[in-house]
């Protein structure tokens, strides 16, 4: 008579931030099993105890998770549908520092604003936009432009609207449900960081490692 097999589907996240030194399966993965008792047992399995009292990222392997889950019950069979290697990002618990966070946000906003303004001004100078507007104004109206014209005003308004539409974001509002270009770039950056950490961990103690 064959014993029943309980299949546990394991979906590990690529990187998970934790704030406690005891890391459990439920902290880094999603599980599914038709037997809820088995699923609850597996979710409570301890994967790691962090001994260091500093912020650090740990690269772990799914095989270790599978081994610990299958030790919970002889009937458990784990099917990994997520990552093979994953990262535990331990951050020490600390009180929110709102003043420092707002200061950093304000600094980044000022830097971005000044950098964008400088880039736009240098582009306008390189393309000689002001002389182009004067020539267009003369061709259309037959007279020389004096001071700021309607072309300058509409160009400035159109530039601001174009930036808003491109970035798909203004204050708390989004123009569509699509991710903004900044969100896409941030996710790409996070993915590259995770892949680099995993690759560096695999190259450790090898001659091909780059110092």
Which pLDDT tens digit goes with each residue over 61-115? 999 999 999 998 888 999 999 889 999 999 988 888 889 889 998 998 899 889 9
- Residue 168 is part of which domain span? 98-201
- State the pLDDT confidence band at 181, using cuts at 50, 70 and 90: confident
**Domain assignment of residue 65, yes or no:** yes
118 and 79 within one domain: no
pLDDT (mean) for 141-150 = 80
**Helix segments in the chain, DSSP class H:** 25-28, 36-43, 62-70, 98-127, 129-141, 150-167, 181-203
Q: Mark which of 90, 116, 151 sits at the end of a domain.
A: 90
116 and 54 within one domain: no
Q: Mark which of 66, 90, 114 sits at the end of a domain.
A: 90
- How many domains, in total, are found in the chain? 2
Q: Which residues neighbour 181 within 8 Å (Cβ) at sequence distance 6 or greater?
A: 166, 167, 168
Q: Mark which of 47, 69, 90 sits at the end of a domain.
A: 90
- State the pLDDT confidence band at 204, using cuts at 50, 70 and 90: low
In 3D, which of 16, 12, 68 has the Cα closest to residue 44?
A: 68
104 and 165 within one domain: yes
**Domain assignment of residue 208, yes or no:** no
């Amino acid at each position: 008579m064959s014993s029943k097999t309980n299949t546990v589907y394991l979906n590990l996240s690529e990187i998970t931030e934790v704030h406690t030194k005891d890391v459990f399966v439920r902290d880094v993965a999603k599980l599914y099993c038709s037997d809820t008792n088995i699923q609850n047992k597996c979710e409570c399995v301890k994967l790691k105890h962090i001994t260091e009292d500093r912020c650090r990222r740990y690269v772990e392997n799914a095989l270790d998770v599978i081994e610990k889950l299958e030790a919970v019950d002889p009937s458990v069979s784990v099917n990994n549908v997520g990552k093979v290697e994953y990262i535990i990002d331990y951050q020490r618990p600390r009180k929110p520092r709102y003043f420092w966070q707002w200061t950093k946000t304000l600094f980044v906003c000022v830097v971005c604003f000044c950098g964008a303004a400088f880039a736009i001004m240098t582009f306008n100078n390189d393309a000689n936009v002001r002389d182009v507007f004067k020539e267009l104004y003369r061709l259309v109206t037959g007279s020389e432009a004096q001071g700021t014209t309607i072309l300058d005003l509409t160009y400035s308004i159109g530039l601001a609207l174009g930036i808003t539409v491109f970035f798909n974001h203004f204050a708390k509002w989004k123009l569509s449900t699509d991710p903004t270009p900044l969100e896409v770039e941030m996710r790409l950056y996070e993915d590259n960081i995770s892949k680099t950490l995993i690759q560096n961990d695999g190259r450790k103690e090898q001659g091909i490692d780059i110092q």
